[in-house]
Amino acid sequence: MLWESMFDQITRMRSVSVTRYGICKLVVKKYHGTNIQCSNGEWIRSGDWVGEIHLDNKQVLEMSRSIGSDRAAIRTARMLRTAIQQISDAMENRPELANVSALTGITLLHRGIIRGLGFELHPLPSKLFTFISTYYLRCLLRMLHPEGKQRVSQNTEKLVPMMLMMTKQSLLEKHGKVGVPC
């Protein structure tokens, strides 16, 4: 958790805002990477404002220790769904999020935790970033999951980080209140 605190401080320095939504932090910053065309035809280009989603690993660790890893995974997925809904509401109502063109994140948990949320999966932009992210996220999994060491060694080929991406338009269409009668 000491590393998490240091990472949090670095994140705050390289962003214009950090806001908590349930189990997530939304870090608003400029995207730096290769241009990505999303499934709805929109492009996310280097220099565009994005909202990076970061799970609160301390909460995940506490849940895993108190209720077990399987129940913690289910609860985390539910809490993530609620956080995405809160972020969608904020995107519609908060002026500081007006320029954000997409939500993004990096995760090893892309197989199960994001199901039904509307994110697209994209490969990471460079081999160096992939190497660093893989090492960091596998170490994090080893520490946060009670059977982390075993899971990492048994599922190494499946534990490849991916970039999650969802355009603001897709977020609002899937999770927004557009079209909901008052």
Domain borders along the chain are 2-175
The one-character DSSP state at 39 is T
pLDDT along the chain (182 residues), means of 10: 60 73 93 91 95 87 82 87 95 92 82 76 79 70 59 58 90 76 39
Q: What is the pLDDT of residue 182?
A: 37
Distance CA(88)–CA(120), nearest Å, equals: 16
List the beta bridge partners of residue 120: 165
Q: What is the pLDDT of residue 24?
A: 92
Q: What is the pLDDT of residue 103?
A: 96
Counting every residue written for the chain, the total comes to: 182
Cβ distance 87 to 24 under 8 Å?
yes
Cβ distance 44 to 38 under 8 Å?
yes
Q: What is the pTM of this model?
A: 0.79
Pair type for strands 162-167 and 120-122: antiparallel
Q: What is the pLDDT of residue 146?
A: 56
Q: What is the pLDDT of residue 4?
A: 60
What does the block give as tokens for 58? 């301390």
Q: Which SS3 state, helix, strand or coil, does residue 158 take?
A: coil
